[in-house]
Amino acid sequence: MATPLQINFKLCLDSRSGRVVHIDQVPEGFELGICPDCNSPLIASNRNKVTRVKDTYFRHKSDSKCSGETLVHMWAKQIIIDSKKVMGAAILAVGEAKDLKGKIHRSERNQPNKWLHFSSVMPEKPLTKDGSYRIPDLICLLTDGTQLAIEIFVNNAVSEEKASFFNSLKLDCLEIDLSCLTDKDFNSHSEFEEQVLYEAPRQWIFSSFYASQVKKAQKEAQEKAAAANERIRSDREENRNFKATWRQANSEFISLIEAYMVPSNRLKVSSLYESQLLQMGTLSNSYKAWFDQHLSGNPEIINIPVRGELGFNCHRSAWQWEVYMRAVLQSFQKATSAVESSHMTIMPSSRALNPDKLLTWYDNVPKLTPENLYNSIKTIIPLNRICTESERINHGALTNEREKPQSLAGLKVKEWRELPKPVCIIRRYFQELVDRLILEKFGNDTYVVKMTMQPWLYPNKPTGFVDIQ
């Protein structure tokens, strides 16, 4: 990275004192400066400072491609040696530990920047360890007796190998980053001094204090996780005891679920419902008789297998008819009547083309949810005993499959998942009708019949069937 001195040399090495000097610190026309990179003389262009148009600077007597990096490096070290202090870098030590639930507990130990004061500073003192050899820019002895290495980053940051070397020595090392300084930072000695001593970015290459803080932070995080684990174990034990008590109190219901979860038992129930279509005196047979008389058999649209349907104590055609009649046929008739009464006759080929018809349709078409459909048919369609018991224990219908209610907290995950829930069964049937372009979703768990739906004939419903509310 190029330094500002490539553009404008503000520094030189005083050949008499061996110190780096700023252009503002030397007399006019100073000619005793040298460039440490190429050892050629540097001439001060600083005459007539009051009336001078150009900025003051040092220039080589002959052409040179020197960057001035060495001068910046030397000057920074010289400032620290003279000041015997420097601002350290902030330290943020973090410890993390997981509890039994996988939650991460975090602990932080933070130390802001603070001044480091030295009793002595030695430039470029060689260090060796196990045959490795490194020369830090400065070795400082802090007033508390500990050692600190300082590296000045102008063009080259501390390498990984050098950082590992300081780590192996357990020698604290601070890197001061001067690579991004601009021309204004070299305008005066005081401005550059501020950058070196406390303004410029800095970081710890190795810090024994940081390492100790990490251990403490990690210990604190582990203690937090351990405390959380104690609470988790206690809660789990309490939950196990609660579930055991609940299952004992509802053992008959548990037996029903266990029997329901046996595949062969489900096949038997399904076969039973199929046989009831032909068995006189059953609800399923009474529906089939009406379908045969008025619809020439069970239409395919009310004979769709749906997961959990054995929760209704009848063949699927019975409960699906009750849902279809309310959600589709009666809804379609009500919305169509409203459009016709507004003198806008609906033709099948143009239902979706007239915005006024569409607005009238959606203003009048019933907005239905699986739950209100279930409430409409539950006095007509009987439930399997397992559903009756679940609603008795829950004091109401189960309306979703995601959140197990506290009243059924004793159920295992698989038992809850497999337990048939009538509202959810109707919801799945609704989705089948959506997929077949008969219904459409109108909002969150709300459905309406499509205006463009082509319903089959509207037969008279069986005697005693309840109209939609």
> Can you give 405-450 as a three-state secondary structure string?
CHHHCCCCHHHHHHCCCHHHHHHHHHHHHHHCCCEEEEECCEEEEC
| Whether pLDDT at 51 is above 80 | no
47 touches 58 (CB < 8 A): no
**What's residue 92's pLDDT?**
93
* Domain co-membership, 98 together with 39: no
Beta bridge partners of 93: 109
Q: Per-residue confidence at 349, pLDDT binned at 50, 70, 90?
A: very low
| Whether pLDDT at 43 is above 80 | yes
**What's residue 456's pLDDT?**
56
Of 188, 213, 238, the one marking the end of a domain is 213
Encode pLDDT of 237-276 as tens digits.
Answer: 999 999 999 999 999 999 999 999 999 999 999 999 999 9
* Domain co-membership, 299 together with 430: yes
* Domain co-membership, 422 together with 281: yes
423 touches 374 (CB < 8 A): yes
**What's residue 344's pLDDT?**
55
The better pLDDT of the pair 38, 309 is held by: 309
- DSSP-based three-state secondary structure for 330: helix
Q: Per-residue confidence at 343, pLDDT binned at 50, 70, 90?
A: low
Encode pLDDT of 286-341 as tens digits.
Answer: 999 999 988 888 889 999 999 999 999 999 999 999 999 999 999 998 988 888 88
Whole-number Å distance between alpha carbons of 450 and 439: 5
* Domain co-membership, 318 together with 427: yes
38 touches 64 (CB < 8 A): yes
Of 12, 32, 67, the one marking the end of a domain is 67
In a domain, 370, yes or no: yes
* Domain co-membership, 102 together with 146: yes
* Domain co-membership, 141 together with 171: yes
| Whether pLDDT at 464 is above 50 | no
For the stretch 120-146, what's the b/e string if a residue is b when 16 or more beta carbons lie within 10 angstroms of its beta carbon?
A: ebeeeeebeeeeeebebbbbbeeeeee
Of 169, 187, 213, the one marking the end of a domain is 213
The better pLDDT of the pair 351, 198 is held by: 198
* Domain co-membership, 100 together with 61: no
CA dihedral angle for residue 432, residue 434, residue 437, residue 438, rounded to 10 degrees: 90
| Whether pLDDT at 462 is above 90 | no
Encode pLDDT of 156-197 as tens digits.
Answer: 899 999 999 999 999 999 999 998 888 788 878 888 999 999
- DSSP-based three-state secondary structure for 62: coil
| Whether pLDDT at 145 is above 70 | yes
Q: Which two tokens stand for residue 90?
A: 């902030």
**What's residue 378's pLDDT?**
94
* Count of domains for the chain: 3
* Domain co-membership, 22 together with 103: no
Whole-number Å distance between alpha carbons of 51 and 69: 30
**What's residue 345's pLDDT?**
52
In a domain, 457, yes or no: no
Count of CB atoms situated within 10 Å of the CB of 256: 19
| Whether pLDDT at 100 is above 90 | yes
**What's residue 351's pLDDT?**
47
Encode pLDDT of 414-441 as tens digits.
Answer: 999 999 999 999 999 999 999 999 999 9
The better pLDDT of the pair 467, 59 is held by: 59
What percent of the chain lies above the pLDDT cut of 70? 92
In a domain, 73, yes or no: no
* Domain co-membership, 298 together with 428: yes
* Domain co-membership, 51 together with 92: no
**What's residue 8's pLDDT?**
57
In a domain, 406, yes or no: yes
In a domain, 433, yes or no: yes
* Domain co-membership, 191 together with 335: no
Average pLDDT over the chain, rounded to an integer? 88
Phi and psi of 460, rounded to 5°?
A: -70, 140
For the CA atoms of the chain, what is the radius of gyration?
A: 43
In a domain, 79, yes or no: no
| Phi and psi based region of residue 18 (left: phi greater than 0; alpha: psi -120 to 50; beta: remaining) | left
| Whether pLDDT at 138 is above 80 | yes
User: Could you tell me the residue range of the domain that residue 197 belongs to?
Assistant: 86-213
In a domain, 198, yes or no: yes
348 touches 437 (CB < 8 A): no
Least Cα distance to 5 among 57, 44, 83, 47 occurs for 57
* Domain co-membership, 109 together with 176: yes
In a domain, 240, yes or no: no
